[in-house]
Each structure stands twice: as structure tokens, then as C-alpha cells.
Structure 1
Amino acid sequence: MGAETTDAIVIGAGHNGLAAAVELASRGWKVRVIEAKSSAGGAVSTQELTLPGFKHDVCAMNLSSFAGSAFYQRHKEALERHGLAFVPAQHCFASVFRDHSYLGVSTDLETTLQRIRAVSENDAKAWQAMLDDFQHKAPHLFAVLGSPMPSTALVKSVWRSWRELGKEGVAELLQLLLATPRDFLDRHFENDSLKAMMAAWGLHVDFTPDTAGGALFPYLESMANQAFGMVIGKGGADTIIKAMVGLLQELGGEVLVNAPVQHIAQTRGRASGVVLSDGRRFNATKAVIANLNPKLVFGRLVDIQAVPASYQQKVDVFRPGLGTMMIHLALDSLPDWKAGAELQYFSYVHIAPDLAMMSKVYAEAAAGLLPAEPVLVVGQGTALDPSRAPDGKHTLWVQVRVLPAEIRGDSLGVIGPAEWSQVKAAYAERVLDVLEQYAPGLRSQILASHIMSPTDLEQFNANLIGGDNLSGSHHLDQNFFLRPVAGYSKYKTPIKGLYLCGASTWPGAGTGAGSGYMLATTLAA
């Protein structure tokens, strides 16, 4: 029996791979998605990790970038027909500080301004001015972020920005793209708490307060949450995955799970299909799309003899970001935040009280040390969506940023060098100690817990090398037209017919499905 043939094969059923498959199928392509794991989704997964009835988003929780994506806007009606539903946050994110005060952003602008006025009248005016300016600049900024890098579309968007914003406006955007968070925040605000609240977003994407290029994410998240709000998935982040799979099947596509790819086949120098670990072969006449970290593609799946040495060398030095730990808790009640009961209504609470602490934790982790005081992103999904837990109970999503992939020592000198499997429980206790400082009595509320070290995260999803939830650092030397490597930022590879998408490619990490959608629109043009 001959191998089955489709127009395109997508390796990896993460949200970018599914977005590419849906878009191609909507344009008449016959598409097969092949996934090694038992279910689609990749890092966008919702599971009962602790107790029955407690639904935990394993990695990604915030779906705001998906809700604002070009892919969603194009397929909105069909995705919602297949069950996609969001839950909006009235209170988006907050940071708690050492004096047990807090600052937070709510969708009601006056509520946010009132909090900022309490610490600085000048900063409240500056926040309002930045928001007004954001409303003017946002379409131009999102046009850049939503264009292949480089491309005619990018040139057109820059030209449009030049015409509408003038050279000063374009210069301001360029400055934003290159600035450190500290320099950007110092330029606009005077209060340290407000600066810390915004800068915390930088560590979501591998940026310390003093890393060049790091200003963009704190700016975007702060202003976009204020202007548009935040959303999570109804019943879990995997609502987007279930909807995309359903839509793909409606369009005639297929998702094959429990099907690890052993080898990407080539015919006369062109990617022509895949061979699975069980020996089955599937052919593709137009494209093989790898929704994978390039280190996996060119380290395991492609005959190295077919790869130019210069390209392989660039892939070999493609650098992961620092590691992450995920702690999932089933709780009897939401944390009793010392800074105020109103914090229980926020989707995210950051424990990153000052810029010095953020710089210190990154430096420690980069040196291979377990940080003395990690940055914590605390997600309170059940505060927005009670369906994620049994009546009256709650889940807590704790992302620990940032950690070393390999442990050389401990900043406190308590935990010795060891494998993560040996120390993850001890380090999780340190995380809980930090949480207890800001939410006393939390341990007594825990019904069950599930800890995922950086090693566990890589085992859960091979793209998360060393527990890097970004699938590659976003520092300037491997971002924009340098992502994943110079000369190949538009999803092509040196092998004809083989393309990359996913967080390792432009525009990088997040749930916006940008790379999958942009690749598909390019292929189908």
C-alpha cells in the first residue's frame, strides 16, 4: 500500500501549527497535522493535574493575544461555532510590594488612575497620556508585529507609519523597540512601584529591567490591558485548541496524535513527507511545516548532510531563554492577600516588588544558581471562571521566573548542586515561603499540588528546552529579522518545501498564532 498524500503536513499540533493548518485548509489545501503526544495543544493545555474537577492550564493561561490576533478575527465565527469562548477580566493584573501595598490595572480607566494617583499625581497624568498615545500608535505597532520579517507588508506598514506619525513618531516607536525597560520607564514615570508593576512583564519574555529591547512587552501589556482588557479561556486555555481542531476537521483536515515523527523525508533535495517512529510514511506535495524548535528539526529529524554547515552552526547557537517552574495548586479558597481582599479579583498577581530584585533573580539564574527570591506570576483563573474547579474551590497557577536549566548552586547556600528531580520539592517550598509572605496561611488552604520543574516542562513538551517556555530567548540578537537565525526569518529553511513556525520564529512566544497564520497566508498566496 502506498503512502497517503496531502498538500501539506504540519508536525506539531501546538496552536501555531493548528493555525497554519486551519488557514491552509480554509483555502482549499488538504492538510494533515501530526502530533507526538496523545492530544493536540502543545504548551496550550488544560489538565486535571491535582484533583478531579480542578482544571489547570499547564503552561499558557492568558489568551489575550489570541483574542486580538488576525487569525482569530478571520475565523472568529467558525471557531466560536466549535466552542471557543473567552472569559474577560475586569481586573487584569497587579503587583504586590514589600510594604504590602499593591498597584493594579483594571479595565475601568478611572479605577486604575485612582490607584496611581495615590502614589503619584504626575504619574496618573503620564499614564493617561501614554494611553492616549498608545491608541494613536497601536495600529502601527501591531502592523509591524503582524508582518513577516522582512516583507513588503512590513515596508508598507513602516511607510504608512511615517506618513501618519511623522519622523518623530516613527523615531519614538524605534526607540521603544530598542530601549531597556528601566530607561523607558524612567523616561515616563517617577514612582518606583508603578515602574515595578510594568517592568514585571519583561520577565515573562526573558528581559531584565536593563536588557536592551525589553521595553516593548511591559509597554504593550500595560497599555493593551488598560485599553482592551485581558481574557482567559472558558473552562481552560485549551478552548482555542479544541475549537481549532474541530474547525480543521470540518474543513477536511486531519489531526493524528500519538504519532512521533522519526524523520523528515526528502526527494531530490525537497522535503516530501515524514516517516513516523512506527514506520508509517505520509507524503506532502507542497509543504512540510515543522511547528517545532529548530534545534529539534535540525538536530533530530533532518539528515544533517542535507543542511548547509553555515545554517546548522546558526541553529546550534540558537539560545534558549532561562528556565521556568510551574506550580499548580488546588485550593480550598483564594489566597488571603495581605495587600487587600480586592486582589482576589485579579487575573494575574505579580510578586516582583522592585527592579533591583528582578535584576538579581535573572543574574542568579543565568549563573546557574537557584534564586534566593524568585519572581512569581500568580494566576487566579477561578476568580474569573468558577467552572475550572468544584463549587467553592479554586485553582492557583504559579509561574516561577526565572530559573537555571542546570543547577550549579544555590544563592542561599541551602540547596546543593543537584538534578532538578532531586530538588524541585525543596525549591517549591521556597516559592511557597515567598507566597506566604504576601498571602499568609496559603499552605493551610492547599488541597493538592503539582510541581513541574524546568526538566519536567521539557519532558512535557520537547520545544521547552531547559524549561524555557519561550522556545528561544527574545533578546535582540535573535529577535525580529534574526529569529530564529539571520537570513531565514520568513519561515523558510535551506531545504526546499520545509518551513518552520512556532514560538522560535517571528513574532515569538505567546498565544497570538502569528507565525502559523503568516506562514500559511504566504504559502497560499
Structure 2
Amino acid sequence: MDETLDSVIVGGGHNSLACAVHLASKGWKVGVLERGSQPGGAVKTGEYTLPGFRHDWAAMNLSLFAGSAFHKEYGAELSRHGLKFAPASDCFASVFSDGTWLGVSNDLELTAGRIGAMSAEDAETWRSLSAEFPARAECLFGLLGSPAKKRAFAYILIKEWRRNGTGGLLDVIRFLLSSPRDWLNETFVSPKVRALLGAWGMHLDFAPDISGGALFPYLEGMANQAFGMVLGDGGADTLVKAMVASIEEKGGSVVSNAEVTRVIVENGEARGVELADGRRFMARRAVIANVAPKALLKLTGETGNDRYERGMTTSAHAPGTMMIHLAMSGLPDWRAGEELKNFAYVHLAPDLDQMARTYAQAQAGLLPDEPIIVCGQPTAVDPSRAPEGKHVLWLQVRMAPGTISGDSAGEIGVTDWSTAAEPFAERALDILEHYAPGTRAKILGRHIVTPAMLEADNPNLVGGDQICGSHHLTQHFLFRPVRGFADGTTPVRNLFHTGAAVWPGAGTGAGPGYLLAQKLAG
């Protein structure tokens, strides 16, 4: 028997859940259908190594969610349903080949003092950037939080023009077009300060020389300095559990093991969806798909708009990521200093040239000879994730090709992930061991998640791309995913698109889901 709802949402990622929370709050009867065994998409937590050791599958940093417009409206309600954050005052650091390190804590003078040891000029620059951040953030966060409409963007830019004049507006536009290297080279003297911030670009497909990438190292540096970082207390899935509870309290449903195979389209209008087991969920008001661009066309078939279909078919994905989850007897003994044990993230990305080389190798299908390692130390912030006295490490190995064509180092002779996983993971652990001798001896259990495994678990992560599509300028702002459809609309009436593939893109801020829900229900 068919079930009829106001809205059916395909995919149970955090954008879907945020969308459902808002729609349900506006009186819509909502159903979320998730093909996997649990909702959350890339935001989930499990005991992947040993009992009692809780690992975040992919996303770990919840700062964007904590600072989002969605959380501002629903935070109190979600807290009632169990959402709880674990704040980190020592946010992120980088270690360097000469045995030194540099890190950002949310104590301004502490951070500036560390930078001053590298460059007194850069320390003063950091203080100036921090002082200017509140005014500059109004414009930048305004853009990133706006609906993807020319009028909305124009309103914010005109506001900036009125405040700072033509020169100030042009400076903002130039900054938005700059590559990380452009901005870092003209802003800082020390290569180590540049590397510290440049590593953040690699989280979002912005190698040092990619235009449009300066924004993200800047925002991460300044936001962490101003507000610190937050993780999920007990795991990132705290936000998923709270949103599911909110939806169910409002009469909605979140159904797992429910694979949608077809969007039912009649006379150019989406009417519902059909599942692999034959069940059908009909929608009175909207069918919403949180899927990768190519996957949407598989669900709908022809849409009647050739330009839209061509754009969705050719949508480019970022290089993949390998995850390594480690159960540990203790945190790494960082050669650069014990204080590094306090940081949520430690980047093993010593200079911009290495980042650029690694990215180019992965884009060419090659296993990088020196991949970038993002070493998350969540139990330094939240000890509840491991048995007493024990720890977990969350390693992102960036970048990794979704399809392997060769090995940059000429050492790994296989090209399928099932056999390349172990030797490539050993390469990553060799790098970690170099910066923190004795780490291997502390490993109690490990679980490797290859790009192929990430995609098998969640088809939105094509080739292990954790951001559901490149954020380069040709696929961002009004062009995400296709010009004219960045607001979640599609050529099919009552069919809408959400998730990281849609403006404002990836991250835990739930912007795509919340903006779409506001568009539909006010």
C-alpha cells in the first residue's frame, strides 16, 4: 500500500534531516528514506576498531553546525533531544620537517606569541586580521548563508560597497577570486604560517594554486581564533540522533534500509518515489533528493532540460580521501612538543609546494608519494570516546585518487583499492611515525576505509570525494550544481535537490537543507 506524505526526502544525511526538522516544524508531514542501516550520511560514529572505541566515520568537526543559522533556530530544541558539543580551545596545529610546530588556540595572545616566534611581522598581521574579522565576517558569512539568487548576493555586496566604498568592495571580490597561495604569500612572511593555514584548503578541494580557495583558510583560521572548535560529545552522531528525535516528535519518520530506485514523475511533476522492495511513498508537496548530481538523473530519467542534464552529467568530483581509524593505548608522542597532544587537529602538511604536488598526483590518478595527513585527536577533547586512559585517532589521508592509475613513488604495483589499501595506509603511518616516533607501538586496533569503501557506504561520496563535488569557482556560488538551479529547484515540478552538491556546498553547517526548507515552507 502506498503511503502519502507532504514531502518525501531521499537520503538521510544531515542536510536532509535539517530540512525535515524545519518542514515538520511548519506542519508538514515528512518522511526521510535512507538506503543505509542508519541515517547521517558522512556524519556518523561507530566502534569500527574495538569495543568501547568510538570513531567518527568521516566528519568530525561540528563548528559549522554549531555556528549555523539552523542551529541558531533549533539549537535549544536539539539540546533537549541530546545534542551536546565538546569544545576545543586548542584547535589546530601543523608540524614541520625541522621538528617545530605552530598552532591556533582561541587565546589570541597565545596564538600570536607562537606566530611571533616565527615572524614578529606575522604576529602583528594576525592580531590585525583578528581585530578586523567581525566586520569582514558579516559580508563573507552573509554571502555563504544567502539563498543562491543574484538579488541576494547583490544585496550583500551593495551593503559592503556602502560601508567601505568601491575600493573596499573590489578588495572583497579580489579576495574571493584569490588562490590560497596568492592570499597567503601577500599576507604572511613565514612559510610555516602559510602552511598552517593552507592545509585547510585541502579539506575542501582547494590546493594552493586553485582560484577561489583563499576564503577557506582565512575563515578557518579566524573562526577558530575567535570561537574555538567544537566536536560532538560522544561522537559527531550526537547531532544526527537529536535531529531524528526532533523529526519523530513532530510526527515525521526516518526510515533506514530504504533504497529509493525511482522518482515517480507524471506529466513533468514529481509525485513520489519507489523503493527497491516495491514500496511507494507519495508526496503531496515535494520530493527532495539529497544525492550526487549524476545520481539524481538516474532516479528521474530525462528532465526535459538538456543544459541541466549536461551540467549534472559533467559535474566534477574532488579527489578522494582514505580514512584510518586507530584505537590507541595513548596519544602520539609528537617530536615537536608535548603540547601538541592538546590539539583537536594536527596537520602533517609541511609546505604549500608539497600540498600542490600531492593534489596534482591524486588528480592524475596516482597514489601520492607524500599524502597530507589530517590527524584528529578527538579524545584529547572528549575522553568519553574511548575506555579510560585510552584514545582514538582519526586520520584523513588527503588526497587519494578514486581510481588508481599508478603510484608516484613507484612502490605500490597494484591499482585496485582492495589490494592498495594496506601499503598506502602504511605509507601514511610512516609519515605519522616520522613526526611522532613510537605511534605504531601504541596501536591497539585499526580500520582502513578506502575511497571505494566510502562510496560503497554512501554513493554521494563518489570516488571517496567527501564534499560531493569540487568547489572550484565553476561549480560554486550560482553554479552549484548548475546555473539556474543552485537554489535546489530542478526542471521537474515539485522535485528539489539538496545536500552538499547544492549551494552553499559541503560542511556540517546544514546550509543546503535549511535554505531549501525555508524556500518551501517559509
Q: TM-score normalised by the shorter chain: which range applies?
A: over 0.9
Query: Does residue 303 in structure 1 map to residue 301 in structure 2?
Result: yes
What TM-score does the superposition give when structure 2 sets the normalisation length? Answer: 0.99
CA apart distance, 1:350: 0.2
Aligned counterpart, 1:400:
397
CA apart distance, 1:399: 0.2
CA apart distance, 1:495: 0.6
Question: Can you give the 5+ residue segments of structure 1 that lack an aligned partner in the other structure?
Answer: none
Query: Does residue 390 in structure 1 map to residue 387 in structure 2?
Result: yes
For 2:89 and 2:103, the matched residues in 1 are separated by 11
Instruction: Map 1:254-403 onto structure 2 (within 5 A).
Output: 254-298=253-297, 300-304=298-302, 306-403=303-400
Q: Given residue 169 of structure 2, which amino acid in structure 1 is its aligned partner?
A: V
Q: Number of residue pairs matched?
A: 522
For 2:317 and 2:229, the matched residues in 1 are separated by 27
CA apart distance, 1:151: 4.7
Q: Given residue 174 of structure 1, which amino acid in structure 2 is its aligned partner?
A: I
Aligned counterpart, 2:443:
446
Q: Given residue 250 of structure 2, which amino acid in structure 1 is its aligned partner?
A: L
Instruction: Map 1:146-157 onto structure 2 (within 5 A).
Output: 146-157=145-156
Q: Given residue 377 of structure 1, which amino acid in structure 2 is its aligned partner?
A: V
Encode CA deviations 1:408-433: one digit per residue, 9 max, x unaligned.
Answer: 11111111142011110111000010
Match of 1:37, SS state, is coil
User: Do the aligned partners of 2:91 and 2:224 also contact (CA within 8 Å) in 1?
Assistant: yes
For 2:320 and 2:261, the matched residues in 1 are separated by 27
For 1:395 and 1:264, the matched residues in 2 are separated by 41
For 1:210 and 1:152, the matched residues in 2 are separated by 30
Query: Does residue 468 in structure 1 map to residue 465 in structure 2?
Result: yes
Query: Does residue 42 in structure 1 map to residue 30 in structure 2?
Result: no
Q: Given residue 176 of structure 2, which amino acid in structure 1 is its aligned partner?
A: L
For 1:432 and 1:236, the matched residues in 2 are separated by 24
**% identical equivalent positions:** 54
For 1:252 and 1:143, the matched residues in 2 are separated by 33
For 1:331 and 1:135, the matched residues in 2 are separated by 39
CA apart distance, 1:369: 1.0
Q: Given residue 14 of structure 2, which amino acid in structure 1 is its aligned partner?
A: H
Of 479, 504, 507, 1:507 maps to 504
For 2:504 and 2:308, the matched residues in 1 are separated by 20
Q: Given residue 11 of structure 1, which amino acid in structure 2 is its aligned partner?
A: V
Aligned counterpart, 1:231:
230
What TM-score does the superposition give when structure 1 sets the normalisation length? Answer: 0.98
Instruction: Map 1:61-76 onto structure 2 (within 5 A).
Output: 61-76=60-75
Aligned counterpart, 2:181:
182
Question: Can you give the 5+ residue segments of structure 2 that lack an aligned partner in the other structure?
Answer: none
For 2:171 and 2:248, the matched residues in 1 are separated by 45
CA apart distance, 1:282: 0.8
Encode CA deviations 1:71-106: one digit per residue, 9 max, x unaligned.
Answer: 000001100000000011010000000001000000
Match of 1:93, SS state, is strand
For 1:421 and 1:324, the matched residues in 2 are separated by 15
CA apart distance, 1:307: 3.9
For 1:458 and 1:506, the matched residues in 2 are separated by 21
Aligned counterpart, 1:77:
76
Q: Given residue 170 of structure 1, which amino acid in structure 2 is its aligned partner?
A: L
For 1:173 and 1:63, the matched residues in 2 are separated by 27
Encode CA deviations 1:427-446: one digit per residue, 9 max, x unaligned.
Answer: 10000100000000111000
Instruction: Map 1:205-244 onto structure 2 (within 5 A).
Output: 205-244=204-243
For 1:69 and 1:289, the matched residues in 2 are separated by 21
For 2:144 and 2:77, the matched residues in 1 are separated by 25
Match of 1:20, SS state, is helix
Q: Given residue 416 of structure 1, which amino acid in structure 2 is its aligned partner?
A: G
CA apart distance, 1:272: 0.7
Aligned counterpart, 2:135:
136
CA apart distance, 1:158: 2.2
For 2:226 and 2:344, the matched residues in 1 are separated by 16
User: Do the aligned partners of 2:328 and 2:390 also contact (CA within 8 Å) in 1?
Assistant: yes
CA apart distance, 1:165: 2.9
Report which stretch shifted further, 338-347 or 258-267: 258-267
For 2:314 and 2:227, the matched residues in 1 are separated by 38
Encode CA deviations 1:483-503: one digit per residue, 9 max, x unaligned.
Answer: 111221111111111111111
For 2:43 and 2:311, the matched residues in 1 are separated by 28
Aligned counterpart, 1:158:
157
User: Do the aligned partners of 2:344 and 2:378 also contact (CA within 8 Å) in 1?
Assistant: yes
Aligned counterpart, 1:109:
108
For 2:175 and 2:414, the matched residues in 1 are separated by 39
Match of 1:441, SS state, is coil
Aligned counterpart, 2:492:
495
User: Do the aligned partners of 2:36 and 2:457 also contact (CA within 8 Å) in 1?
Assistant: no
Q: Given residue 517 of structure 1, which amino acid in structure 2 is its aligned partner?
A: Y
Match of 2:118, SS state, is coil
For 1:402 and 1:319, the matched residues in 2 are separated by 16
Q: Given residue 42 of structure 1, which amino acid in structure 2 is its aligned partner?
A: G
For 2:137 and 2:264, the matched residues in 1 are separated by 43
For 2:39 and 2:479, the matched residues in 1 are separated by 29
Aligned counterpart, 1:120:
119
CA apart distance, 1:308: 2.5
For 1:271 and 1:27, the matched residues in 2 are separated by 21
CA apart distance, 1:459: 0.7
For 2:478 and 2:308, the matched residues in 1 are separated by 15
For 1:364 and 1:6, the matched residues in 2 are separated by 48
For 1:233 and 1:294, the matched residues in 2 are separated by 29
Query: Does residue 430 in structure 1 map to residue 412 in structure 2?
Result: no
Match of 1:118, SS state, is helix
Q: Given residue 449 of structure 1, which amino acid in structure 2 is its aligned partner?
A: R
The Cα RMSD (Å) is 1.0
CA apart distance, 1:329: 0.2
Aligned counterpart, 1:479:
476
CA apart distance, 1:512: 0.2
Encode CA deviations 1:371-420: one digit per residue, 9 max, x unaligned.
Answer: 11000101000000000000000000000110111111111111114201
> Which of structure 1's runs of 4+ aligned residues deviate more than 3 A?
none
Match of 1:494, SS state, is coil
Aligned counterpart, 1:30:
29
For 1:308 and 1:259, the matched residues in 2 are separated by 29
For 2:150 and 2:14, the matched residues in 1 are separated by 23
Aligned counterpart, 1:19:
18
CA apart distance, 1:163: 1.8
